[in-house]
Amino acid sequence: MINVKTNIYYEKDADLSILKNKIVGMIGYGNQGRSQALNMRDFGLEVIVGNRDDEYKKMAENDGFKVYSIEEAVKRADMLFYLIPDEIMNEVFEQKILPNLHEDQSIIFASGYNIAFDLLKPPEFIDVLLIAPRMIGIGVRERFLNKKGYFSFIYVHQNASGKAKQNLLALCKALGTLKLGAIEVSFKQEAVLDLFTEQGYGPAFGRVLLETMTILIKAGYPVEAVLIELILSGQLKSIYKNITEYGLSKYIQAYPKRTQYGILRNEIDYKKVAEKIANIQKEVLEHIASGGFAEEWEKWFSKVKFKVIKFFAPRVGFGPKEKKVRKKLSLPEVDLFAEVAYPTEEDIKNSEKIQEELKDFEAYSEY
């Protein structure tokens, strides 16, 4: 096992005064962009928005921001938050951002993907920074309002100004992430961690869950009861909540002794299966870290294959059964933000303005 020194930063490590008279440009005003723009403005920074003429532009204007074309925002801003989808990031950068960049600017990414795999190459005369919140936009805004903070991955990839680290930490403080902690990892580490969680852990978890449901249904248990027990009851959610609160090694202590015993006695049998899963995960990790996945995904054929898989996935296997059960139980359409709690502090709870603002996020689903 490799021991790596980890740098973690908090509010005491940042000096917000160095951003005085600086203009922050938010390129893109989706769920993450809106959250970060509102947070920084509330902290006293001057924030403008660069966006094409669409519903996001109207949202920014309604929120009281000055909105410009992307090109004009790049010219005006000192700090550029580049928060548009990875898939179009390089094209927009080459056409609208690169020609308008100038010295003493910083460009901040919320995803390490394009820099990590050399899909986007900023000029050497600007600072290149990473601030990657480890939650979706509504959480970034909610935890800022709650004064709780949230974790982020941060990094200085390019330090043209000689002040990149100071600027990075000051921006992190204005975003509210230093209340909980900002962890220093490289663009490549952030990208690989993100992709591996999606590809190495997500499918393994999903397959185990699907096999569990299949075994129970074949054993004669009603499909409705199985779905309620494993998914709709929220038991899985409570397991993750307990892991977050008590730690992975101690989470079972939140359960009755009978449950603890059952978990511990069967963990031994599952170890053999876990070793097989680990071998697959090692291959997935290598494929991602080597750049193989990025190379694969950038090919046009992968985009076509994705569309086909995405179309058929919910229409085969367990998908139709689940759809029927949800309809039978009169469950509403799934809403990504439906279970996200609103602020809990008394003054925030009683503020209709804040609650209405958080509800606005329900229309925006990207990171």
CA gap 67, 138 in Å, rounded: 21
Q: Name the residue with higher pLDDT: 78 or 300.
A: 78
CA gap 171, 152 in Å, rounded: 12
Q: How confident is the model at residue 343 (pLDDT cuts 50, 70, 90)?
A: very low
| Per-residue confidence (pLDDT) for residue 310, from 0 to 100 | 64
pLDDT above 90 (res 69): yes
What value does the mean pLDDT take over residues 138-157?
94
CA gap 139, 358 in Å, rounded: 9
CA gap 314, 349 in Å, rounded: 38
| Per-residue confidence (pLDDT) for residue 304, from 0 to 100 | 66
What value does the mean pLDDT take over residues 334-348?
42
In the chain, where the domains are located: 8-185, 190-331
CATH of 8-185, one of 3.10.20.30, 3.30.420.40, 3.40.50.720, 3.40.50.1000: 3.40.50.720
| Per-residue confidence (pLDDT) for residue 344, from 0 to 100 | 47
Neighbours of 293 (CB within 10 A): 20
Alpha helix segments (H runs only) across the chain: 31-42, 55-62, 70-76, 86-92, 113-116, 137-145, 164-175, 187-196, 202-218, 223-227, 235-246, 257-289, 292-297, 300-312, 319-328, 346-349, 352-360
Query: Residues 190-217: pLDDT tens digits?
Result: 999 999 999 999 889 888 888 888 899 8
Share of the chain above pLDDT 70, in %: 84
Of 273, 125, 290, 159, the closest CA to residue 211 belongs to 273
pLDDT above 90 (res 346): no
